Amino acid sequence: MKFYSVKMRASLNDKHVSGGERITLEESIQKVVSELLARPKEFDFINIKIEKINNIKFIEKSLDVKTINVKNHKEGNEIALKLLEEVGIDREIAKVYIDLLHTGANPDRENMRGAMIITKSGKRVEKDRYRGVRTTNVDFLHREEVKKILLEKKYTERTLDALALSTKNLNHPDIIAEYCISDQPDYTTGYVAVNNTYYRINPLKEYSNPKGGRIYFVKDDADIDELYKYLQEESFLIKEVGSLE
């Protein structure tokens, strides 16, 4: 079977406002393009990219999903730190970078365009602190079915996309954990992915904060060039969704 990657990104006044991707069969390209085109509410530039994938790989199952509701973002971050500690990430190291994400992680204290990479011993190693690294080329094999299952359980399409992205991340043997908060001021649910589980933490950031981003915690001896290649270039379809709670 021939699979194609379809990517959309849109911007307004030179600011990225929407992005999305699908991996699909040739006969569904048109449908997928129109779905992606409908995503940005407003834009003055939109880019649609379609590429044939030559070497598709499969991941059997996504991470399991668990939701943790808490009183406020402070409590949410306490839980996040505990989850990270469980996989050996030092609390103080994690706290420094999580605080940075909540206050602007690029050198101008604005949001990055991708994720920060932090080693277990606390070194910040992404190649460009404005850009970071972006995980791409991942989707569910039966996206519509998985979407239906998630929506029935009151999850959103945003969770579907983030779950795919995070599953690809944790599938790499050198990525120990991921921490994520959205950069949208009114979206306060975030997640921590560890131990094959995507912990949705609600809330994980303060309402009205426009800062957000992702941190990938990696092993000290991770090969960063290889990691970039894996995250940005290798294509994966996820066959099944894990357990949902």
Cα separation, 119 vs 125, in Å, equals 7
Cα separation, 151 vs 65, in Å, equals 13
CB-wise, 59 or 138, nearer to ligand COA?
A: 138
Instruction: Indicate which single residue of 63, 84, 100, 139 sits in contact with ligand COA (rule: CB under 6 A).
Output: 139
- Exposure pattern of 27-56 as b/e (b: 16+ CB <10 Å)? eeeeebbeebeeebeebeebeeeeeebeeb
Q: Which two tokens stand for residue 8?
A: 């959309």
CB 67 within 8 A of CB 54: no
- From the list ligand COA, ligand AMP, none, which binds 9 (C-beta under 5 to 8 Å, kind-based)? ligand COA
- From the list ligand COA, ligand AMP, none, which binds 142 (C-beta under 5 to 8 Å, kind-based)? none
Quick one: which segment of 26-34, 70-78, 129-137, 195-203 binds ligand COA (CB under 6 A)? 129-137
- From the list ligand AMP, ligand COA, none, which binds 16 (C-beta under 5 to 8 Å, kind-based)? ligand COA
CB 192 within 8 A of CB 199: yes
CB 25 within 8 A of CB 2: yes
Burial of 225 (C-beta count, 10 Å sphere; 0-12/13-18/19+): exposed
Instruction: Indicate which single residue of 39, 66, 95, 134 sits in contact with ligand COA (rule: CB under 6 A).
Output: 134
Cα separation, 180 vs 200, in Å, equals 10
Instruction: Draw the binding track, 193-212, toward ligand AMP (x: CB under 6 A; -: no contact).
Output: -------------------x
- Site membership for ligand COA, residue 47 (CB under 6 A): yes
- From the list ligand AMP, ligand COA, none, which binds 219 (C-beta under 5 to 8 Å, kind-based)? none
Largest CA distance in the chain: 50
Instruction: Indicate which single residue of 73, 77, 98, 161 sits in contact with ligand COA (rule: CB under 6 A).
Output: 161
Quick one: which segment of 62-70, 107-115, 194-202, 219-227 binds ligand AMP (CB under 6 A)? 107-115
Cα separation, 205 vs 185, in Å, equals 9
The site for ligand COA (CB under 6 A) is made up of: 7, 9, 16, 19-21, 47, 49, 113, 131, 134, 136, 138-139, 161, 164-165
The site for ligand AMP (CB under 6 A) is made up of: 111-112, 114-115, 134-136, 162, 165, 182-184, 212-214
